[in-house]
Structure 1
């Protein structure tokens, strides 16, 4: 199993990850290929902590997918050294190609088309602190972003229907999520105001950092009574550890079922 997009998950996968997020840590024996494009301060912090807490060794492979090599060749040569890949790369299509070629699990630590780990974390927060996610009235405020694409994917997996607006509230909500607007692009969306939140019934406000006061938000969320709080993002750590445990566990189970096979499947998937 890979976690390149949330559309690859089943409801059982999501619930299994969330159960592991609430379970005690275990030590794993494995090697991680780690490639991280850009800053991603919070995601970088929590994944590196997760590797350490789980006893996983990692090797930093800067710009793994920036090479001119075919993804099938990369996977074929690297798979024998690693048990899992955690990759942050803007090129979502190339990340998908690499995951399809590799015989190891691949985690999308953010791409231009999705941010599955962030969204699994925020949905876990809703599910465990507010109400079951399937019953939550989720409002996504702003233009389409990689985070919001992942929210729409998760909603299709779990069977709930978020409202996605960017100029005026039209329904009551239990939680409102914003994301950073794409840079350099025009948008018809306007900044979320406290009056908007009042008209939606005073929902919990969950900004996806980094956010800007005066752009995505017309007010400082830190002083808002229903701000989810900085500590909410601490859940990134247990959820990312759970993702690693779930994917590595699935790989071990798959290997046990096919113990007569060895090596990567990349050879079969590399075009002649």
Structure 2
């Protein structure tokens, strides 16, 4: 059955007003978290956490956030590629759970799940996008600047799920996103209305507000990509208020130098604090009465 639930499958699926509301609510969630007085918007809600990989930050934050807001979070050890029909799995989950937070290989599988499950489905990662990671970084950018309109984000990364959600964000929000990388790994050209573009010029970082990285392609020669490494010297040339937020896990000596991780503009730990707050804001929005 088609679900009327509020799902987060891709950032560009949401109305800009909802995205702005979620990012603003994440700011309030930080204060509520620090004061240990979290709202109980998930009271009596049962949420399945369906993740079968080694990633831990997003999923741990979801587990923690669901419980802190009064919900019950259960790790369901199922796989979407188990051979059972996805519609059947969704129906079985629907017997017991009010919502699902999950990772899946493909966004199409995530959309099929959302169509079959009668409750919110939240995308914790696919190969093609990673919406909560990007919303967390955007919540941090809002915390730092007080607004997100006009923010320039430089994503020094091949085409992968982190960049995928930044492209989604550029389609939905008034910010500029530029992929800076070797043309071999550039994303496909966006339509003329998008605020996303590609470049191979590391000079794009000089006026960026937020600098994001992702892992180098496993099939690339390191020497081929060395000029796209973020170094302390490069960060020195960036705007004083710029924030460097490499996406964990970070491979020092590849996409990031060891010295860059110690630079004052590297604010990855502070930024990832907002991963929890943004996800909590998403959970509250998803389970709110429309």
TM-score range, shorter chain: 0.7 to 0.9
**Equivalence for 2:35:** none
Residue correspondence of structure 1 range 103-182 to structure 2 within 5 A: 103-166=118-181, 167-171=200-204, 172-182=207-217
User: TM-score if structure 1 supplies the norm length?
Assistant: 0.84
Uncovered stretches (5+) of structure 2, i.e. residues with no partner: 1-5, 33-37, 182-199
* Aligned equivalents of 2:244, 2:260: Cα separation in 1: 8
Residue correspondence of structure 1 range 38-53 to structure 2 within 5 A: 38-53=53-68
* Aligned equivalents of 1:199, 1:234: Cα separation in 2: 26
Following superposition, which runs of at least 4 residues in structure 1 exceed 6 angstroms of deviation? none
* Aligned equivalents of 2:157, 2:74: Cα separation in 1: 37
2:263 maps to which of 224, 244, 266: 224
Aligned length in residues? 251
Q: CA RMSD in A?
A: 2.0
Summarize the Cα distance change of 1:239–1:196 in structure 2 as closer, same or farther, 3 Å threshold: same
1:233 maps to which of 272, 278, 285: 272
**Equivalence for 2:19:** 14
Uncovered stretches (5+) of structure 1, i.e. residues with no partner: 254-272
Summarize the Cα distance change of 1:12–1:186 in structure 2 as closer, same or farther, 3 Å threshold: farther
User: TM-score if structure 2 supplies the norm length?
Assistant: 0.79
CA contact (8 A) 2:104 2:110 kept: yes
**Equivalence for 1:193:** 231
How many Å apart are 1:225 and its aligned residue?
2.1
* Aligned equivalents of 2:217, 2:102: Cα separation in 1: 21
Summarize the Cα distance change of 1:181–1:157 in structure 2 as closer, same or farther, 3 Å threshold: same
CA contact (8 A) 2:210 2:243 kept: yes
Summarize the Cα distance change of 1:222–1:200 in structure 2 as closer, same or farther, 3 Å threshold: closer
